[in-house]
Amino acid sequence: MTPDTTAPQPDSPSRSNRKVLWIVLGIVGFIVLCVVAFAAFGLYFVSRNLDMTQATASEASDSFEDVRARFKEAPILTIDADERVTLSRPPPDAPPAERPTKMYVMAYDRRDERIVRVTVPFWMLRMGRENIRLGAGGDDINFEKLRITAEELERYGPALLLDHAEGRNRVLVWTQ
């Protein structure tokens, strides 16, 4: 009688290939799960921190003036016609009594008659300030151009950072 050679041996190449396949599938499944979780977090974050509302020019003006009235001092940053950013006053040396935790951006585009409000937590500013853009449409203001760090913004405390109007658009940025 001859032994049966068709049954796989315990350490056969077929069995180790299955282990490798399961490990690879597990890793791919984990990566897919992470991508889906990251996308879900992004959608959740944007839905909680972005608000777009239709508004006439006079309604938008009232909204901007309501926010503007909270601040007695001039904006910290100004942008001239050549898009040069000027710092109106340097950050204080001493930290403020109240440190801001969020930056707010309110932008209005008269063409679309829409106000866009964005809330940006300071932890996000510290993490990726070069990628944050302030504004609406093609007239965005790149945060990197402002040449000010999140740490410097925190030293001002709650403050009006920018009140900029150009053509049809207006952008108001403040911290609280």
170 vs 163: CA distance, rounded Å: 7
71 vs 87: CA distance, rounded Å: 17
User: What pLDDT, on the 0 to 100 scale, is given for residue 96?
Assistant: 87
User: What pLDDT, on the 0 to 100 scale, is given for residue 59?
Assistant: 93
3 state SS for the chain = CCCCCCCCCCCCHHHHHHHHHHHHHHHHHHHHHHHHHHHHHHHHHHHHHEEEEECCHHHHHHHHHHHHCCCCCCCCEEECCCCCEEECCCCCCCCCCCCCCEEEEEEEECCCCEEEEEEEEHHHHHHHHHHCEECCHHHCEEHHHHCCCHHHHHHHCCCEEEEEEECCEEEEEEEC
> Which residues 6+ apart lie within 8 Å of 22 measured at CB?
none
pLDDT of 45 above 50: yes
Token pair belonging to 58: 């006079």
The whole-model pTM stands at 0.73
Taking only the tens place, the pLDDT of each residue in 57-115 is: 999 999 999 999 999 999 998 888 777 778 888 888 888 888 899 999 999 988 899 99
17 vs 67: CA distance, rounded Å: 65
Q: What percent of the chain lies above the pLDDT cut of 90?
A: 41
Beta bridge partners of 107: 116, 171
Average pLDDT over every residue of 47-62: 91
Q: Which residue type occupies 55?
A: A
Contact 162, 147 (CB under 8 A): no
